[in-house]
Amino acid sequence: MIDFPDRQYWERRERQALKSAERAQDGQARRAHREMAQRYSVMAHDGELADSTIPERG
């Protein structure tokens, strides 16, 4: 597996998002935290796909 420069950061963010999902009492908030955790996981493990998982503002 390739080690991307920000891998540890994104893995940490994934764990934080999953913990937030566990604590969230609102279903929509839980779902949003889980979606972010999934995006962080992709960014941690596949740098080429990372750009496609980051939503654009606008």
Domain ranges in the chain?
7-47
Q: Note the pLDDT of residue 28.
A: 97
- In this model, does residue 54 exceed pLDDT 70? no
Task: Check pLDDT > 90 for residue 1.
Answer: no
- 7 confidence band (pLDDT: 50, 70, 90): confident
| Chain segment 20-50, per-residue pLDDT in tens | 999 999 999 999 999 999 999 998 887 655 5
- Taking the C-alpha atoms of residue 28 and residue 16, their distance in angstroms, rounded to an integer, is 17
Q: What is the pLDDT of residue 58?
A: 52
**3 pLDDT exceeds 60?**
no
Question: Which of 53, 47, 35 lies closest to 9, judged by CA?
Answer: 47
